[in-house]
A and B are shown apart, each in its own frame.
Chain A
């Protein structure tokens, strides 16, 4: 019964979304307040209805209702409760419902917190948001209905893919989807502004918090995914340039560019058309990501159901929304006159350089991702594009970006002097170059990756610190510090996020360049040297988990005779899915992770054992997290709230 109610709620949500997309848009065109007023309650109602459908599906999973096709395909009574719950979105249909929940949630938030928006803009934003909802609800109801029943329910389900039975599933997709879908708000604002034909500093200020929120979610989502891959897949890789990873990375790059160009719109009323285009592209690429993940045109480890019918449907959604918005852009972009004037060397032009580098980097990733498809269609060449290509083609852009970042961040608006902007950064530059030389001299190989990554990381972090110190103005250190505490949160956010980027750059290089690896056959009782550590295979025994059987090893790690840690790597077999997984055992440390994996028993006795020392692994997730915290600080800036408060006060006065 609850399942049918959920199904019904989903259909109702579709009807509400239709109203939400048509009436307010019409009302805004005719300046009819009553029609525009439909937008807010409709957005909230759509969210509540989709929320109810989501709860209904979750209920079906939790009670293991095997009359539901989706539950049969993705669940099992023995599955632990956490995965029954998270398993709701561990499949195509359910994850689409989660996506829809996030989409309608953002719409509802715009209705709740958009109090200071002009009435017509708000009506149009919610209307565009409703239209996206219409498209995805139709997609769900027509091709991927999660509420389909089975005529003859089986006794038990087919279990969830064992690789997904991990706490990572509970957090990674929701964050990622909130990020993907959050960009729909930037898109709706862009399209609404194009229809209004007016973009000013206020628009920049309204659109930035939404973009920031989406960017924070996306950053955390990608970080969680990378961490999950690191500990779950069993060889300690953290980024594979897999099509689906690229699908999440391209919107992130565009969102990052958009964040920066929206600042220029807000502060200087320049780069308007470009910012609108970025907002369209950022969401466009999150739609392309959806297409890549769910259509199966590009094979990937992550691929959900490979169904051509669904692929065509998403391609249609993509075509309508991108075609429509880009056509609108072509018609209206000319009307967006820029106001701020800036010189060739200025903060504005530095942000333009940032935008060009990020956008081109994203397009390089895009070209690489779809190249196999293009080559097969056009030249009938079956080929692959993978990690080595992306490392070679993408990295130079990030190196350039890191090089110009501290200089650009410190430049004044309008007109800058390169020499004067660079002067305070000289100590940072000297220290960074010295670090490169020092590491290059100390390391054994001739690879430039480690030293250059460390130097760039230090340069970006020091640059951010100097930027902050400069903001304190002149005078004694005490007065400067006092001034720093009064700086807007956005400034702290900028410095924090940039430092996080520097740390991430360093960690990526360090983890790739300085990893220690060992592969060998080890008998119980034997030990071997791994870097400065001594690893002993103390014992191997079998155990039963709730829905799997496992071979668990006990490995003792010592350093110079002193015990460091005892780790228990596992090899599990999930009988229902007939699939083995490796559960690496990791000792997390500030400067290194110890990463141990147990493999198969060997013919001559003993087990295959893989072990790694991964230097600075935690700095990678830490750096990304610091970036996200920087975003949060910026989001909490007073200026995003002050206008809203003023409007509310004005309304209150008017109401009296």
Chain B
């Protein structure tokens, strides 16, 4: 309920859209890094938007913080750490691969291996199985009936 209220406020209070011209850094290389980092950061009050696309005031603050840290000479990872330290893991779109996060990252490769393993095992069985009879008696009768017409 609280979140919905904040969201409603955020929407009404800020007809502004996403990255504003006055935020853009003069150095294109730094700006490109800032954009890359922003795409991975979630607007804390919106429904699943990154801070780059979001129009909420807090997203603007976060975008400015990202650029401030970059100008101060932080590495990309340090900037992300700085924000996550203050706003929690929730704002990060790619969960950390530590602890339980490892399950998420390994789920894909693990399922692929399992799938291929099962497929391999069954295919081997199929490859060596004797060919069963193709048609039953009922099928034959129906086939003859269809062919006659």
Contact = CB atoms under 8 A, between A and B. Distances in A.
A379 B146 contact: no
A317 interface: no
A599 B124 contact: no
Given A341-B129, A386-B42, A646-B149, A235 B108 contact: no
Given A375-B100, A388-B40, A341 B92 contact: no
A363 B111 contact: yes
A162 to B, nearest CB: 11
A521 B42 contact: no
B17 A599 contact: yes
A337 B127 CA distance: 15
Contacts of B108: 360, 364, 367, 393, 396-397
B92 A344 contact: no
Interface in A341-398: 341-344, 348-349, 352-353, 355-357, 359-360, 363-364, 367-368, 371, 375, 378-379, 381-389, 392-393, 396-397
Nearest to A244: B48
B12 interface: yes
Contacts of A356: 112, 115-116, 119
A270 interface: yes
A650 B149 contact: yes
Nearest to B127: A343
Contacts of A363: 107, 111
Given A381-B89, A383-B92, A650-B145, A519 B24 contact: yes
A382 B104 contact: no
Interface string B115-127: 1100100011011
A360 B111 contact: yes
A200 B145 contact: no
Nearest to A522: B21
Contacts of B100: 375, 378-379, 381
A368 B107 CA distance: 9
A600 B94 CA distance: 32
Contacts of A597: 17
Contacts of B17: 234, 582, 597, 599-600, 608, 610
Interface of B: 3, 11-12, 15-22, 24, 39-40, 42, 47-50, 53, 88-95, 99-101, 104-105, 107-108, 111-112, 115-116, 119, 123-124, 126-127, 129-134, 139, 145-146, 149
10 contacts: A242-B48, A342-B123, A344-B123, A349-B123, A360-B111, A384-B93, A597-B17, A599-B16, A610-B18, A643-B146
Given A233-B53, A392-B94, 4 more contacts: A381-B100, A383-B92, A397-B108, A599-B16
Interface of A: 200, 233-235, 237, 240, 242-243, 269-270, 299-301, 303, 337-344, 348-349, 352-353, 355-357, 359-360, 363-364, 367-368, 371, 375, 378-379, 381-389, 392-393, 396-397, 519-521, 571, 573, 578-580, 582, 597, 599-600, 602, 608-610, 643, 646, 649-650
Which 9 residue pairs of A and B lie closest in terms of their CB atoms, listed nearest first? A386-B93, A356-B115, A580-B15, A364-B108, A339-B132, A521-B21, A383-B89, A299-B47, A382-B90
